[in-house]
Structure 1
Amino acid sequence: MKLRKRVTALILVVVAAVSLLSGCGTGGEESSGKTLNFGCTNFSDSLDPSAMVNAAWCVSRYSIGEGLFRFDEEMNAQPYLCDKYEVDATKTLWKFHIKEGVKFSNGQDVTASAAADSIKYMYDQEAKGKGTSTPSVFMKYESISGDDETGVVEIVTSKPYADLCAVLAHPYFSILDVNADTDMAANPIGTGPYAIEKYDTGVSIAMAANKYYWNGQVPYDHVNIIFIDDSSTKAMALKSGDVDIVENIVTSSDLDSLKRSSDFQVSETIGMRCGFSYINQKGILADSSLRKAILLALDDETMCDVTVGGMYTAGCSVLPSTLDYGYENLKDATPYDVQQAKKLLDDAGIVDTNGDGYRELNGKNINLNYLTYDSRNLTDFTEAVAAQLEAIGIKVTVKTTDADTEWNMLVAGEYDLLATNWMTVPVGDPYSYLDNWYSKSTANYCGYANDNYDRLYEQLEKEMDIKNRGEMIQQLQQILIDDAAVLIHGYYHSNMCSSKAVTGAEIHTADYYWITTAIKPAK
């Protein structure tokens, strides 16, 4: 209880600090006092979208930046900063017209050349190795140019794309004023309804209404983003009135409490996210018998239904069962079977020879380095996995870190297992997500390699027929299952919880949009 009181006191200090700053305002107008306090996990200490994928998502989620296109609830890309487009018969020449009257939050016009510069910035930073964001995974191009007289951005792609509009709806392609004299990591200038006043790294972000906003009235004069990583603390802050909205309460008891109360609203969606752990196959887990035994030893149903209180739906594939990619036709190659796991290890000679209770491989005790961070029940899963693997003589050391550090360690390959949660159809299609396991990809951080997977993935890149693509994606899933390439936790149920002081706080399917102009003060 004392700890909770200290946490509440800290939240109040942060709220007070950003509220004092909010009185300054960037809009030049007298404040009406309408302020939204939003509690969320801190996913990145940078807001430069080129720094890492989490930073790009934050720019979109906080309504700082917007793209040429935006996903609707069915994951169809709809024109946004772009009002019309055309594509030639080869699907390699694309022309996008910038909507009239759109400005950045510093008052500068969003011209075609400014939009082109923003997209090229991401690729320039990737080429220089200045960040870990990989826009090239989603789009490869020959040229990008902007004609300010016609207002058209022209993109010539290196290969045909079935739907480049959906690609440009990804947060990597939020249109920012990259030519502005500003620190991109702390103050990116976008076209969204809110603009940054002060960024206190790791603590809070104070934002004010963008007086140049192009798309209607901005509901709040000020928005305070307050970073609260612990789920129960987020729920407590919402109940106490310290914040108005929180994202992703992952403690089932806290979520049930909010659902039962008439004082709060809970918005949930199921379907697009997969919780999984990368298996680093550049180290000890290159041994296929060890990988398969690990998966056999894990009781997925109990972990999803009991350990995390039904916050996930159990499954065996990297793509959720709710998506139309043939899940019902897949065969789980490693269903829960502890005795079979032990037999597989014994038969492979992975045994405990020194009697310390832990098995050895190549003469050394197995001690798996398992990385996680506090988001979407990932720590609960890792601890449960460690306990269940202990039962078959596999030692696991769990290390909990922050999202940025975990991502950097993933890229560096400094792990054996690494828990994460991904949007599986980031551009309305799983092609780029499946790139995680394509051996020739720079995004393959786990070292997985399978010639059949690679050949099929390369065919998928060229296939434009939707039915054929679906069949290929089903086959790709089965290959990963058969190879024990990924440790699947399950399919996440996203949520957003709010007090009755606000309306319109809905969790979106795409999970790219948290703070939106739909969120307004209740009347």
Structure 2
Amino acid sequence: MKVRVKKMIAVLMCAAMCCGLLSGCGAAVKAKTSAGTADGKKTLVIGSGQSAGTLDPIKAYNGWYPIRYGICQTLTKMNDDYSISGWLANDGYSSNDDNTVWTFTVKDKVTFSNGNKLDAEAVKKSLENVFENGERGVEYFTPVSMEADGQKLVITTEKPEPILPNKLADPLFSIIDTSVDNSKIADNGPIGTGPFVCESFDSATKKCVVVKNKNYWNGEVKTERIEFIYSEDQSIISMGLQSGDFDAVYNVSMNDIDTFEKNSDFKIKTNPSGRTTIGFMNQNGLLGDKVLREAILQMQDKDSYCKNLLKNQYVPGKTLITSASDYGYDTLTDPNAYNPENAKKLLDDAGYADTDGDGFRETPAGEPVNLRFVYYTGRPEQQIVVEAAQAALATVGIKVTPNVHDTQTVMDMQKSGDYDLLCMSINIMNCADPENQINTYFKAGGTYNATGYDSKEFNSLMDQVHVTADPNQRKDLTKQAEQILLNDAAAIYFCYPIMNFVMKNHVDGINSTPADFYWVDENTSINN
């Protein structure tokens, strides 16, 4: 970003604050005055374009935030190499031969932040809450029974669950104290076992403040207080880090990252992620025509997008599952790779023509083609790839109208199917295994599959994945399912981000991981 542009943005920010509102693409954002101390406590301030809609971990995907903010933990944890280990449970969990009965031993020294002891009964009640009051639990597994005896928890499942420890690492299964009044959990936050406790959460600005958990079970918590400040305006996030309003920022835009790379006052943590930036195509409307979907896909020059527009901070997309994992990126075949001449021919041959002379095609039945492309700006690549797709498709007479909203609104629209095209960043590997995310977004009946996509062959393969224990067989079946998605022109896989956390040199212990939901822990500290 050039200096002149930065100055202009700063003036606009100042004017907005004078009016009492700083807008981040529809979401009200309260500016942080400065990093340092608050209420006599040394305070770490983290800026992000991502926010919780609620702190109740069983609602939609909001469980990510109690984990990110250090409030909650899960029985198991995903490691950077995509392995799984115990977190609140000891390592050494086991199952019977057919993977329908799993036994976990809850660590004996753990307490909730209110001082209540964590035993197997408390874990059982927390997991039961997911299935009784949440909506996505059954997409992971269906428990027949859960039995608690001291620190031992036995989970019996309806079907074989060969990767149950992976699934229990998902933030949906954050362990919370259900023995307390949780009627205001959305705003007050859960009682968890993490190193921090929610002090406040503002549902309007999305600002969350956490303080040191004095009853933390795993050593001294090094930071007294953390403020998480939200804005979907990437320039505000970047400028706030430069000006001192933030000590650290999650996912700095590719347009600004070089500013911090060249400045010795900052350090950067980066990692390949399990994320894929996806353009979902709603087959319940005009995109029910596979020819139109194929033409759209063949107009996406993803290599150019990533090199020239995303400044090599993203890897060009091909498969549903990120190139950072071994799930077919180099071996599967993309039948709709970039081929603009063929895209034009497909449209011409199918009868898509500009009959009214406005420069855009109509359907063979004479209906105008104007595809509403929904996106949010909390992920910096989204506006760029949406506008790039719009420009590319305009060259072959396909009209696309970008439609921007805040993140939560886009998630709601995705769930309801209120779009033609929709851009979303999905961590397909959030359990160190892609099964559940694939089911959620592409399998018939998936909570967020509102595209109308329904392939019997694909569904059958994913059913087989669910009960298959052998890792190589699981991977092979998953690759077959991915190939079907490619053959069916089900979605646009734009790119895979290289995630980053940029922080001042006096900050330690902020994490950037493939899981993308372990931000802070007991070792997070301010050293000035």
The normalised TM-score by structure 2 is 0.91
8 A Cα contact 1:202 1:227, kept in partner: no
C-alpha deviation, 1:176, in angstroms = 0.9
Tell me the equivalent position of 1:164: 164
Paired with 1:235 and 1:453, the residues of 2 have a C-alpha distance of 42
Paired with 1:511 and 1:475, the residues of 2 have a C-alpha distance of 26
User: CA, structure 1 residues 6+216, in 2 after alignment: closer, same or farther (shift >3 Å)?
Assistant: farther
Pick from 411, 414, 417: which aligns with 2:418? 414
Tell me the equivalent position of 2:45: 37
Tell me the equivalent position of 2:186: 185
State yes or no: 1:402 paired with 2:410: no
8 A Cα contact 1:42 1:202, kept in partner: no
Deviates more, 1:388-397 or 1:176-185: 176-185
Paired with 1:69 and 1:521, the residues of 2 have a C-alpha distance of 28
Equivalent residue runs for 1:497-512 within 5 Å: 497-512=502-517
Tell me the equivalent position of 1:176: 176
Paired with 1:169 and 1:459, the residues of 2 have a C-alpha distance of 22
C-alpha deviation, 1:114, in angstroms = 1.7
The SS at the match of 1:481 is helix
The SS at the match of 1:318 is coil
Paired with 1:450 and 1:444, the residues of 2 have a C-alpha distance of 12
* Aligned-CA RMSD value: 2.0
C-alpha deviation, 1:63, in angstroms = 0.8
Tell me the equivalent position of 1:151: 151
The SS at the match of 2:255 is helix
Equivalent residue runs for 1:224-263 within 5 Å: 224-250=227-253, 252-263=254-265
The one-letter code matched in structure 1 to 2:344 is K
User: CA, structure 1 residues 509+13, in 2 after alignment: closer, same or farther (shift >3 Å)?
Assistant: closer
User: CA, structure 1 residues 5+502, in 2 after alignment: closer, same or farther (shift >3 Å)?
Assistant: farther
The SS at the match of 1:237 is helix
Pick from 116, 127, 138: which aligns with 1:119? 127
Tell me the equivalent position of 1:71: 78
Paired with 2:374 and 2:418, the residues of 1 have a C-alpha distance of 9
Paired with 2:109 and 2:468, the residues of 1 have a C-alpha distance of 38
C-alpha deviation, 1:19, in angstroms = 8.0
8 A Cα contact 2:309 2:384, kept in partner: yes
Paired with 2:190 and 2:34, the residues of 1 have a C-alpha distance of 22
Tell me the equivalent position of 1:207: 210
C-alpha deviation, 1:17, in angstroms = 9.6
Extract unaligned runs of 5+ from structure 1.
24-30, 127-132
Equivalent residue runs for 1:370-389 within 5 Å: 370-376=373-379, 377-389=381-393
State yes or no: 1:264 paired with 2:227: no
Equivalent residue runs for 1:302-313 within 5 Å: 302-313=304-315
Tell me the equivalent position of 1:28: none
C-alpha deviation, 1:109, in angstroms = 2.0
Paired with 1:460 and 1:363, the residues of 2 have a C-alpha distance of 43
The SS at the match of 1:43 is coil
Paired with 2:201 and 2:338, the residues of 1 have a C-alpha distance of 47
The one-letter code matched in structure 1 to 2:95 is V
Deviations 1:70-107 (A, max 9, x none): 11211211111112533222211112222123221222
C-alpha deviation, 1:439, in angstroms = 2.2
The SS at the match of 1:306 is helix
Paired with 1:253 and 1:398, the residues of 2 have a C-alpha distance of 21
Tell me the equivalent position of 1:291: 293
Paired with 2:502 and 2:34, the residues of 1 have a C-alpha distance of 24
Pick from 218, 222, 227: which aligns with 1:219? 222
Tell me the equivalent position of 2:10: 4
C-alpha deviation, 1:356, in angstroms = 1.4
User: CA, structure 1 residues 267+210, in 2 after alignment: closer, same or farther (shift >3 Å)?
Assistant: same
Deviates more, 1:295-304 or 1:454-463: 454-463
The one-letter code matched in structure 2 to 1:65 is C
8 A Cα contact 2:163 2:469, kept in partner: no
C-alpha deviation, 1:6, in angstroms = 5.4
The one-letter code matched in structure 2 to 1:210 is N
C-alpha deviation, 1:300, in angstroms = 1.0
The one-letter code matched in structure 2 to 1:399 is N
Pick from 436, 441, 446: which aligns with 2:446? 441
The one-letter code matched in structure 2 to 1:177 is D
The SS at the match of 1:360 is coil
Paired with 1:270 and 1:19, the residues of 2 have a C-alpha distance of 31
Deviates more, 1:320-329 or 1:352-361: 320-329
The SS at the match of 1:35 is strand
The one-letter code matched in structure 2 to 1:470 is K
The SS at the match of 1:4 is helix
Deviates more, 1:307-316 or 1:415-424: 307-316
8 A Cα contact 1:67 1:173, kept in partner: yes
Q: For this pair of structures, how many residues does the alignment match?
A: 504
Paired with 1:83 and 1:464, the residues of 2 have a C-alpha distance of 21
C-alpha deviation, 1:466, in angstroms = 1.7
User: CA, structure 1 residues 36+442, in 2 after alignment: closer, same or farther (shift >3 Å)?
Assistant: closer
8 A Cα contact 2:35 2:245, kept in partner: no
C-alpha deviation, 1:18, in angstroms = 10
Extract unaligned runs of 5+ from structure 2.
1-6, 23-28
The SS at the match of 1:253 is coil
Deviations 1:284-329 (A, max 9, x none): 1010000000111121111111122222111211012231123222
Pick from 58, 73, 92: which aligns with 2:65? 58
8 A Cα contact 2:101 2:155, kept in partner: yes
Deviations 1:186-218 (A, max 9, x none): 122111111111112242112110111111111
Tell me the equivalent position of 1:462: 467
Quote the sequence identity (%). Answer: 32
Tell me the equivalent position of 2:4: none
Paired with 2:179 and 2:406, the residues of 1 have a C-alpha distance of 31
C-alpha deviation, 1:68, in angstroms = 0.8
The normalised TM-score by structure 1 is 0.92
Paired with 1:3 and 1:491, the residues of 2 have a C-alpha distance of 29
The one-letter code matched in structure 2 to 1:151 is Q
8 A Cα contact 2:369 2:399, kept in partner: yes
8 A Cα contact 1:39 1:226, kept in partner: yes
8 A Cα contact 1:299 1:336, kept in partner: yes
C-alpha deviation, 1:14, in angstroms = 4.3
Deviations 1:338-359 (A, max 9, x none): 2211110111111111111111
8 A Cα contact 1:327 1:474, kept in partner: no
The SS at the match of 1:91 is coil
State yes or no: 1:359 paired with 2:361: yes
8 A Cα contact 1:140 1:157, kept in partner: yes
State yes or no: 1:483 paired with 2:506: no
8 A Cα contact 1:460 1:472, kept in partner: yes
